[in-house]
Structure 1
Amino acid sequence: MSTALLPWLHAPLTQALAQANGHATLVHGPEGVGQFEFSMALAQSWLCEALPTGSAYQPACGSCGSCRLIQSRSHPDLVVVIPEALQAALGWSGSGDDDEGASEKSGKAKKPSQDIKVEAIRAVVQFSQNTASRGRAKVVVVHPAERMNMVSSNTLLKTLEEPPGMVRFVVSAGSLDDLLPTVRSRCQAWRLPLPDKAASVAWLREQINGLGEADAEILLQAAGGQPLTARDRHAMGLDAVRWPQIPREVAQGQGLAMAGWPLPLVVETLQKLCHDLACMATGAEPRYFPSKSLHRDGDLSRLTAWAGELRKASRHAEHPWNLNLRVESLLQQARQALRFNR
């Protein structure tokens, strides 16, 4: 794993290697800026064998035996714990869950889990008690840590507080509020800020062929300044040209610009629109949509009620609804909330 594609991580990585001296580092900040890539870069640097043992940590060389093992996903002193549902997107598999065998025995294909299960954390506890194979260190990466339920979190606590031997933890989270205070208190926190706009726009244009600067800026704004989120939402169908048309369409009960989108992205977009309209109604600047695409005459009581309904919809967005009927229902709900815009 390398930070080469995420240039804004270079400086924070160097600083973290110099200052993150505890046995457990909590990487947090806005989602979509590269928490997982940063966590893996930390792990690879701690395990890198280019410098003698005891030397000050430096960014990984990328070419030693340890770095090559990490790049091939086969380092014996590294465990990466991520939910099954995120493994393909993050390019990593084998988080320690044993559900695959259970699925084969039952003969039924199970939907990949969105959670970090206790079985994976128990495997981490066992891993931490073993001797380091290469003698450098042992590292556990947990991402995103807010996907641990109460049982998983409590199972990790004692090992996180008093890790045996040479074990170091990188706990990655988008929101600190979703972590148990007992987990937070056992880690040295390291916050990743939003990257510079110019760097994010340049990176997006490298990632998406033919993307102009103006469109890259719209995609970045639509993602709240998070470049990885902007790239992923574009891959899901978000179009920079049609994004500013969404407020007018939604106020009319239409969703042409969102046609073919997965339901979670539709709900997320409506939540962003609701947020920005509330900002405009109170005289604040919008975060996600161009201000000229929004009305300023929003009714805060209606917007607040709509936001509550959207939160409920978000909790069930992964449910196998009839997509067209569900989207139509959401748009009708939106039209009622925004009828002052007609």
Structure 2
Amino acid sequence: MVSAPLPWLNGPLQQALRQRSHALLIHGPAGVGQYEFGFELARALLCEATGEGVQRPCGRCTACHLMDTHGHPDFRLLLPEALREPLGWPDEEGRKKDAKPSKWIRIEEVRQAIDWTHQSLSRGVAKVLLIHPATAMQEASANALLKTLEEPAPQVRLLLTTTDPELLLPTIRSRCQRLALPLPTREAALAWLQERGIAQPAVLLDAAGGRPLEAQALASEGIDADSWSALPQRLRQGDAGAVAQWPLPRLLETLLKLCHDLMAVAAGGAPRYFPAEALPPGAALPALAAWSRELTQLSRHDEHPWNAPLLAESLVAQAAALWPGKPASAGRGRLTTLGR
């Protein structure tokens, strides 16, 4: 059996190796391991182990070692600058250290990768181009890839990842065979998190919506089960220190989760992200609905150059005002001016 770096990807990896499609669109929920799957599939496709019944990737051949050190000449990765460091890839040469890393895959990078696919094989097995995530290609970049997707050079395999295929151009989708990556079972996800020393993994797994890699990311950011469970009460008390160091996207995502759970409880349902006992009662459903709309609107502009500390304080004040007896936030209704 082929061994994937994430145990719940074993089945999909074997399926992909059987398909032998020249262009594969790998999709599934965020936090399930699209990048890890794409990289491990590339390792398997480039593995040089031989013999009947051999497992690929073998982890022992020269090709596997080259992949592990990010030095295989027949593997190329297209990745936004903003994801290079988190995924363990060095910054590209020429990027200014003080420049904000781009969230996009530039058309020049796509064209260079296309030229690379037409060059001769270095090790005689295959060439693999991994694009993660494919939604980081803007329309011009995606259109530049169409001909290569339709008529790739011999022995070239193209792997594209996404959390939602519908966000890609129809012309991209139609040229790829799809492979869905499901969420792992709760038991498998909890076992994996426990193996990594994460205490009370069930709390963080719920906080991440059942996505184990996202739960691991929360833990790596210093958000443990106790601090997550204490967060609703601290926000009710207007304690901005609870989230003072959080990046704005993480803060907005968390407040939307809290709002969802408070609305669910107010409507007689069960929370999804926070323990039920951690949610202070009494928040009114109409106020929660209005807050949800405001948070959703703000989350669409999280790249705006906000004054992050002031915005965080305003958001915490809004949260505190949801419960009876709490004064309305002085900053409410002025969110669009705080960063200017």
Aligned residue number for residue 30 of structure 2: 31
1:90 and 2:90 are equivalent in the alignment:
no
In percent, how many aligned pairs have the same letter?
A: 47
1: distance between equivalents of 2:38 and 2:77? Answer: 10
Change (3 A) 1:257 1:5: farther
Among 178, 183, 188, the residue aligned to 1:189: 178
Task: Find the aligned partners of 1:179 and 1:300 in 2 and give their Cα distance.
Answer: 36
The root-mean-square deviation of aligned C-alpha atoms, in Å, is: 2.6
- Normalised by the length of structure 2, the TM-score is 0.86
TM-score, L = length of structure 1: 0.86
Could you say what secondary structure the match of 2:29 adopts? coil
**Relative to structure 1, is the Cα distance of residues 250 and 159 closer, same or farther in structure 2, using a 3 angstrom cutoff?**
same
Deviating 4+ runs (over 4 angstroms)? 2-5, 55-58, 295-301
Counterpart of 1:116 in structure 2 is 105
Match of 1:339 in 2: 323
CA distance in 2, matches of 1:304, 1:292: 21
Q: 1:241 to 1:170 in 2, by over 3 A?
A: same
Cα distance in 1, alignment partners of residues 290 and 170 from structure 2: 31
Q: Output the CA distance in 2 between the equivalents of 1:45 and 1:243.
A: 39
Q: Answer yes or no: is 1:163 the counterpart of 2:152.
A: yes
Q: Is the 8 A contact 1:32 1:227 kept in 2?
A: yes
Q: Does 1:17 align with 2:17?
A: yes
Say whether the 8 Å CA contact 1:28–1:175 is kept in structure 2: yes
Please show how residues 140-219 of structure 1 align to structure 2 within 5 Å: 140-208=129-197, 211-212=198-199, 215-219=200-204
**How has the CA–CA distance of structure 1 residues 304 and 180 changed in structure 2, closer, same or farther, with 3 Å as cutoff?**
farther
CA offsets 1:80-124 (integer angstroms, 9 cap, x no match): 111111111111246xx7xx43x56xxx73111111111211111
Indicate how the Cα distance of structure 1 residues 151 and 299 shifts in structure 2: closer, same or farther if over 3 A, else same. farther
Equivalent residues of 2:25, 2:159 under 8 A apart: yes
SS of residue in 1 equivalent to 2:105: coil
Asked if the contact 1:238–1:258 (Cα under 8 Å) also holds between the matched residues in 2, the reply is no
Q: Distance in 1 between matches of 2:190 and 2:223?
A: 16
Q: In 1, are the aligned partners of 2:5 and 2:40 still within 8 Å (CA)?
A: no
Q: Distance in 2 between matches of 1:174 and 1:3?
A: 23
Given the superposition, is the C-alpha separation of residues 309 and 141 from structure 1 closer, same or farther in structure 2, using an over 3 Å criterion?
A: same
**Who is 1:79 aligned against?**
76
Q: Which runs of 5+ in 2 are unaligned?
A: 327-340
Match of 1:277 in 2: 262
Tell me the equivalent position of 1:45: 44
After TM superposition, give the deviation of residue 62 of structure 1 in Å: 1.0
Contact kept, 8 Å, 2:12 with 2:179, in 1: the verdict is no
Partner of 2:329: none
Count of paired positions: 325
Deviation at 1:318, TM superposition (A): 4.6
Counterparts of 1:225 and 1:86, CA distance in 2:
22
SS of structure 2 residue aligned to 1:38: helix
Contact kept, 8 Å, 1:26 with 1:172, in 2: the verdict is yes
Cα deviation, 1:47-79, whole Å, max 9, x if unaligned, reads: 111136xx8995310111211111111111111
For 1:329, the equivalent position in structure 2 comes to 314
